[in-house]
Amino acid sequence: MVTFASLQEKSTLCRSGCYTVFMKIGKVGVKLFQREDDRDVAFNEQCKAHNCGLGPKAIKKFHFFDADTNEFWYAYTTEVVKTFKRGRIRGKAEFRIETMIDELKEKLLKENLDIDDLHYYNVGVSKGKLVRIDFGPTSSVQLPMCMQRWD
């Protein structure tokens, strides 16, 4: 039986944002949402970005009932990309990353894709190119505090 805890036990990385949880399990990522429509919007937006070369591949949607917490989780699997280290980036590296993010914003806008909340924690590198990795909602209910954890 799949539960949030069982996925978390298998993950080598677990990060929580305001509206989603990301877990790295093996060679894939799993993005978990508490609302089905939030998951579907994020999945569709990521598919569009991937088709334009501006996001990682979104693989498959699924959902499960977590008997431990009596809640449904709505999720999808995704390609894992290289991300920047947590912490403040300074100097030339900060300037270069900000320039690359500005270029990515222009490309996303050209494809009519969202650019809200685009910063160096929400981008990664795939096949040598900067891509957006956060496609979650920017306005929804926040995850319960027990599900918010940074490793």
Show the beta-strand stretches assigned E in the chain: 13-16, 21-25, 28-33, 58-66, 71-79, 82-83, 123-126, 129-132
- Residue pLDDT, tens place only, 97-129: 899 999 999 999 999 998 988 888 899 999 999
> What does DSSP assign to residue 53?
T
- Residue pLDDT, tens place only, 52-98: 999 999 999 999 999 998 999 999 999 999 988 777 777 888 888 89
Domain residue limits, the chain: 4-137
